[in-house]
Amino acid sequence: MGKLILVRHGESEFNKENIFFGHLDPNLTEKGRDQALKTKKILSNIDYKEIYTSPLKRAAETAEIINIKNYDLNLVEELKELNFGILEGLTYEEILKKYPEAAIEWKENWQTYDYQTGESVEQLQERSVKFVESLDLSNGNIVAVCHWGVINCILSYYFSGELNGYWKFAPNYAGIIVIEFTDGYPILKGINIGDVDGII
């Protein structure tokens, strides 16, 4: 039975600007590309049969860099980051000024609040887990390049129960997370593998 290898995308242009964004589509920074290159070296020691990626540029570009086997990339909508709806592209200070009521509701009901024109974290987890359960790991390891929210939804679902652990995991930029399913039972084999700077 193969393992699911989750990889967070490298740093993007908007990650440096402290704004809320999910479906907005910035490119990787130079630092983000360097992070992906380091991950590529780690993956050179790991065999995989397929590679999936969010179609958003920061993830797809990371996937292109780390794809040492030059497999076709499978672009998957379910791997996109959370859609922040009306809050996309705003700083927290701008949100408080423009949407003060939304900011309160979002804090009080973070699991179910859908950002009015976006989606809820519950909905994000539903599509993220649906993707995982659609995979056939019987033939070997599978790589999936995605986002902080997607990864934390998956980790929380399998290792903390639904969304209880959503805020308790810290996947780093271009960090590698490995999950093994033994007889359907999930085992977390590693998080931020090879990223000593991000752990210590």
SS3 readout for 94-143: HHHHHCHHHHHHHHHCCCCCCCCCCCCHHHHHHHHHHHHHHCCHHHCCEE
Report pLDDT digits (tens) over 17-66.
Answer: 889 999 999 999 999 999 999 999 999 989 999 999 999 999 999 999 99
Model confidence, pTM: 0.95
Annotated catalytic residues are 9, 81
Question: Are 73 and 2 contacting, i.e. CB atoms less than 8 angstroms apart?
Answer: no
pLDDT of residue 195: 61
Q: Which CATH number fits domain 3-194: 2.60.40.10, 3.60.15.10, 3.40.50.1240, 3.40.1360.10?
A: 3.40.50.1240
Domain boundaries, given as residue ranges, for the chain: 3-194
The pLDDT of 65-87, averaged and rounded, is 97
Rounded CA separation 129/58 (Å): 21
pLDDT of residue 183: 85
DSSP β-bridge partners for residue 4: 142, 179
pLDDT of residue 45: 87
Q: Is the pLDDT of residue 200 over 50?
A: no
